[in-house]
Amino acid sequence: MTILDGKALAAKIKEETAKTTAALAAEGKRQPCLAVILVGEDPASQIYVRNKHNDCVTTGIKSLMHTLPKDITEDELLSLIDKLNADDTVDGILVQLPLPKHLNEEKVTERISVNKDVDAFSAANVGLITLGKAGFKPCTPAGIMRLLEEYGIDIKGKECVVVGRSNIVGKPMALLLLAAGGTVTVCHTKTADLSFHTKRADILIAAAGKADLIRGDMIKEGAVIVDVGMNRKDGKLCGDVNFEECVPKASYITPVPGGVGPMTRAMLLENTLTAYKFSK
Ligand code: GUN
């Protein structure tokens, strides 16, 4: 059994990013720049945004933080996005979700220019992914693909089962696995017999947001297990997979923390560099 070490690979990707930005600086070029907008004071979002800011700072990407009060109007938020869209020195724009209820998330994320949409949440970017065309790839699924590639895990012809159908993870994950030649099944809360599907998986992606959803008797001997979950159980961070039960059967498995999470953050840096290239 091998641990899929997302933390180590993310560190390597960050080093490469830092080299790229240092080379740009040496050529006297403009620094890549990511604008992050946080509305309100959700504690988890504050931590995520702080981590993204620190990642930028340590890799030579300029981080523009916009912290807005929770009662900001939709028009005010949309005009900030318009201003950042028009600013040639801003490459990527990210609005941290969830937004307070009075703000329409779809309207807000759709306002971000397609070439600056480093989360790849817009309909245009989702369409490009669906067609297998270049563009931004959403950070979590892209990070998982990179992790599988790093460990030489072939996807072609494999039974891939994704548990979860969110727009951020489940759906785009299924599309990327399909593009890589996997035979993909997407399971969700309405799936009648979850373990019937998970037991068939050569590659299982658990992204349902439910602690301990995947038990040892639900997986196949030798399966590759990727855990996207970030749940709290008795105050402790845990994934969707019961790690202790699945380790003896898995060929590869991601830990929580230290698996998918760091890869998501690393892909945001790569997407910001891609956005920088678009701006040329
Ligand atoms: N909230 C939770 N995950 C994410 C993410 O990947 N991007 C944004 N913008 N908000 C999030």
- pLDDT confidence of residue 15: 98
- Give the chain's domains with CATH numbers: 28-113 (3.40.50.10860), 139-260 (3.40.50.720)
Q: How far is the CA of 97 from the centre of ligand 1 (A)?
A: 5
For ligand 1, atom 9, which residue shows the shortest CA distance?
A: 96
pLDDT band for 58, please (50, 70, 90 cuts).
very high
- pLDDT confidence of residue 279: 85
Cα–Cα distance measured from residue 191 to residue 212, given in angstroms and rounded to the nearest whole number: 17
pLDDT band for 107, please (50, 70, 90 cuts).
very high
| Tokens (6 digits) for 261 | 């999470």
Clarify whether 52 is annotated catalytic.
yes
- pLDDT confidence of residue 185: 98
Catalytic residue among 5, 91, 117, 119: 119
162-182 tens-digit pLDDT: 999 999 999 999 999 999 999
For ligand 1, atom 11, which residue shows the shortest CA distance?
A: 97
- pLDDT confidence of residue 150: 98
113-170 tens-digit pLDDT: 999 999 999 999 999 999 988 789 999 999 999 999 999 999 999 999 999 999 999 9
236-259 tens-digit pLDDT: 999 999 999 999 999 999 999 999
Question: What is the chain written as a DSSP string?
Answer: -EE--HHHHHHHHHHHHHHHHHHHHHTTPPPPEEEEEEES--HHHHHHHHHHHHHHHHHT-EEEEEEE-TT--HHHHHHHHHHHHH-TT--EEEE-SSPPTTS-HHHHHHHS-GGGBTT--SHHHHHHHHTT-SS---HHHHHHHHHHHHTT---TT-EEEEE---TTTHHHHHHHHHHTT-EEEEE-TT-S-HHHHHTT-SEEEE-S--TT-B-GGGS-TT-EEEE---EEETTEEE-SB-HHHHTTT-SEE--SSSSHHHHHHHHHHHHHHHHHHHT-
Clarify whether 71 is annotated catalytic.
no
Per the prediction, the chain carries an average pLDDT of: 97
Mutate to test the pocket of ligand 1, among 36, 46, 48, 49 (most ligand atoms within 8 A of CB): 48
Cα–Cα distance measured from residue 67 to residue 70, given in angstroms and rounded to the nearest whole number: 9
Catalytic residue among 52, 116, 137, 171: 52
Catalytic residue among 5, 14, 91, 96: 96
Q: How far is the CA of 62 from the centre of ligand 1 (A)?
A: 19
Clarify whether 119 is annotated catalytic.
yes
- pLDDT confidence of residue 135: 86
